[in-house]
């Protein structure tokens, strides 16, 4: 248990559905991250929030919409996804603000998403 929880753990959705992924960290960290993990590809950083402000958006399609209501919670809202969006979505947190030098990131277990 890393102190970072994600729900749901598995999600199957159609291309016209709207769903949300939730992440919660119990570590008192200031930065939170969304990553996409696909087979044989590097972890792709999607969004970074530092002290509830978005500080990074790596050219992610608008069908992915993040929300960070406070420093402990992070959401990823999904709508009109494509089959190629099927992947494991990981949430992580780190102690300082984003851009911290040498900071260890603490990961949640991920949500495995399948888009049909």
Shortest Cβ 99–another protein spacing (Å): 2
69 or 84: whose CB is closer to another protein?
84
User: Alpha-carbon distance 77 to 112, whole Å?
Assistant: 15
17 or 72: whose CB is closer to another protein?
72
15 or 114: whose CB is closer to another protein?
114
Shortest Cβ 15–another protein spacing (Å): 27
DSSP string, 74-111: EEEEEES--GGG-EEEEEEEESSSTT-TTPPPEE---E
95 binds another protein (CB under 8 A): no
Residue 83 φ then ψ, to 5°? -55, -30
User: Alpha-carbon distance 104 to 66, whole Å?
Assistant: 22
Site string for another protein, 7-46 (x = CB under 8 A): ----------------------------x----xxxx-x-
109 binds another protein (CB under 8 A): yes
Residue 16 φ then ψ, to 5°? -100, -5
42 or 83: whose CB is closer to another protein?
42
DSSP annotation of 71 reads: T
């Amino acid at each position: 248990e890393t102190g970072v929880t994600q729900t749901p753990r598995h999600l199957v959705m159609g291309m016209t559905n709207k769903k949300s992924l939730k992440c919660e960290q119990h570590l008192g960290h200031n930065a939170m991250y969304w990553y996409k993990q696909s087979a044989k590809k590097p972890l792709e950083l999607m969004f970074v929030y530092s002290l509830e402000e978005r500080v990074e958006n790596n050219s992610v399609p608008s069908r992915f919409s993040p929300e960070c209501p406070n420093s402990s919670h992070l959401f990823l809202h999904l709508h009109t996804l494509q089959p190629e969006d099927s992947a494991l979505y990981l949430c992580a947190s780190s102690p300082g603000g984003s851009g911290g030098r040498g900071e260890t990131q603490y990961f949640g277990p991920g949500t495995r998403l399948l888009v049909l």
